[in-house]
Amino acid sequence: MTIEDELKLQIGAYYGVMSMDNYDLKEFVLKDIEEYINCFVQENNIVNLKDKMEQYKDELSLKTKLQDSLIILNRINASIELVLLIKNKIKEIDWFIRILCYNIKSFEGVLWKNI
């Protein structure tokens, strides 16, 4: 994994945890992830961290950010409660996508029958 990929993973994890509004202690976990990112940035002499954070914030999907957060939370030994909440949110996203795709396919079938 390149340094850029690792940084992208860490930033994605930060925003993934940030999206977990139903977790009361997320500020503490975000602080731990910030420290983890800062150590990585200092070790690898990375510049323009804020620009990269904005870029990756917009570039990554919510599901990717949540998946990244599972990797980083494992590295920093975070609460299992948060890990389980994130896994459930990923399942909800997958379920929503499946339902949406099924409805689109059903709608397409109706359109083709009526043409």
pLDDT tens figures, 22-36: 899 999 999 999 999
Q: How confident is the model at residue 60 (pLDDT cuts 50, 70, 90)?
A: very high
Average pLDDT of the chain, as a whole number = 90
pLDDT tens figures, 97-110: 888 777 777 666 65
Furthest-apart CA pair in the chain: how many Å? 63
Q: How confident is the model at residue 112 (pLDDT cuts 50, 70, 90)?
A: low
Burial of 9 (0-12, 13-18, 19+ CB in 10 A): buried
- For the whole prediction, is pTM greater than 0.95? no
Q: Domain spans of the chain?
A: 3-114
Stretch 5-30: mean pLDDT = 95
Half-sphere exposure of 11 (CA within 13 A, CB side): 20
